[in-house]
Amino acid sequence: MWTINDFPAYGMLFGWSTHGKLTCPYYMESNKAFMVANGGKASFFDCYRHFLPLNHRYRKNIKDFFVGRVKKDVPSPHLSGEELHDVVSEYGDIMFGL
Amino acid sequence: MTHNWVKRSIFWELPYWKTNLVRHNLDVMHIEENMFENIFNTVMDVKGKTKDNIKARLDIVLYYNCKNMELVYDESQVAKPRASFMLEKNAQLLVYKWLKSLRFPDGHASNISRLVNIEECRLYGMKSHDCHVFMQTLIPLAFRDLLPKGLWEALTKISHFFRDICSSKLNVDHIERLQTNIVETLCKLEMIFPPSFFNSMEHLPIHLPFEAKVGGPVQYRWMYPFERLDITVAM
């Protein structure tokens, strides 16, 4: 059994808000989005190169992506259901939204 | 703030919930629709809808090295130079005229020629399913020879990605290839579009192959049937 919803409702059912820069429900805290200075919104610019193989030529490209940035990191693994359950239980006693 | 948790979902009380591989499905319908709208509005430079606005151009200076996209200050005026991914006015007209003359098989999509407003250079009242058809079949045709080759290829790959992920039959090897391809395609888009183009909807396609691998074909896990049901309920 699973659920299917649009993205705002996804946040409500999952309990992880899908607003702001920590939008992605898979990478959660470890996602690489940032707030752009002038637009004021979250941007996932330069957040895909770390999925590439380590020897990919795009990783060393300092010109066409984020200026002067070489990507050496690898994506963090998804949290499994058990791990998520532990995390959620940890936050369980806190009254959210207060 | 280091996390986005807002509540403990009631689903965690289900005994099997933590052993599920996919608990909530990402909705391919909305992702495809939003992505199509972002791409189309930005490429066609639709006023008020394009992601390439003045603020985006101000951000380009900070994060992205592209001299010919920076704003030009001229005494009291600010000019926004035309970006390489933007179609010129006469090319836009060509696309809209082509859309105007378009005929689909019965029941394939709504009559797109009726949605085109050539004077205002806008598409009005595109439904999710029209976006779906446009994304999967029309994007490669509409922009062929009009956009620079690199961008056209990247957009075509996005189009093919959605067509492949939505197919009724998937095999695991193919899905793994889709995963590597979509990352590379998004990297290619990053080299072309400004940072503000990449909102969360442009990020989510990289999780779709994983969900397809675990959950099976997309047609059983997307919002179309429920969106249609909403109409029935409302009536």
Average pLDDT, chain B: 91
Residue closest to B123 by CA, chosen among B34, B202, B49, B28: B49
- Identify the residue among B13, B16, B17, B18 best suited for mutation to test binding to A, counting A beta carbons within 10 A and taking the highest: B18
Determine phi and psi for B117, rounding to 5 degrees: -115, 100
pLDDT at A97: 56
Question: Is the pLDDT score of B72 beyond 80?
Answer: yes
CA–CA separation, B217 and B208 (whole Å)? 11
Model-level pTM? 0.92
Residue A51 · residue A63 · CB < 8 Å? no
State the average pLDDT over residues B72-87.
Answer: 88
Predicted pLDDT of residue B1: 60
Residue B217 and residue B168 in contact, taking contact as beta carbons nearer than 8 Å: yes
Task: Reply yes or no on whether the pLDDT at A93 is more than 70.
Answer: no
Q: What is the pLDDT of residues B43-56, one digit of tens each?
A: 999 999 999 988 99
For residues B59 and A36, the answer to whether their CB atoms sit within 8 Å is yes
Confidence at residue A95, expressed as pLDDT on a 0 to 100 scale: 59
What's the average model confidence in pLDDT over B181-208? Answer: 92
User: What tokens appear for B208 in the block?
Assistant: 């779709």
Q: How does pLDDT run across B144-159, given as a tens digit for each residue?
A: 999 999 999 999 999 9
Question: In this predicted structure, what is the pLDDT of residue A96?
Answer: 58
A70 and B CB contact within 8 Å: no
Chain B partners within 8 Å of A17 (Cβ): 4-6
CB distance from B190 to chain A under 8 Å?
Answer: yes
Local structure of A39: helix, strand or coil: coil
Confidence (pLDDT) at A20: 86
Q: How far apart are CA B5 and CA A87, in angstroms?
A: 10
User: Which of the 8 DSSP states describes residue B207?
Assistant: G
Residue A98 pLDDT > 60: no
As a whole number, mean pLDDT of residues A28-52 equals 88
pLDDT at res. B182: 94
CB A3 within 8 A of CB B25: yes
Question: A83 to chain B: nearest residue by CA?
Answer: B18
Joined together, the tokens standing for residue B25 give: 């499905």
User: Cβ contact (<8 Å) for A38 and B58?
Assistant: yes
Q: What is the pLDDT, as a whole number, of residue A59?
A: 92
Is B193:B155 a contact under the CB 8 Å cutoff? no
Q: Do A89 and B12 touch (CB under 8 A)?
A: yes
Determine, for residues A2 and B223 on separate chains, whether the beta-carbon distance falls below 8 Å: no
Partnered with residue A43 across adjacent β-strands are: A34
Q: What's the token pair of residue A83?
A: 């791990």
Q: How confident is the model at residue A94 (pLDDT cuts 50, 70, 90)?
A: low
Average confidence (pLDDT) over A43-61 = 91
Are B11 and B23 in contact by the 8 Å Cβ rule? The answer is yes
Whole-complex ipTM: 0.90
- Whether B12 sits inside 8 A of A33 (CB atoms) is no
Tell me the mean pLDDT in the region A34-41: 88
Q: Alpha-carbon distance B8 to B5, whole Å?
A: 8
Question: What average pLDDT does this structure show over A10-28?
Answer: 88
Mean predicted confidence (pLDDT) in A65-72: 88
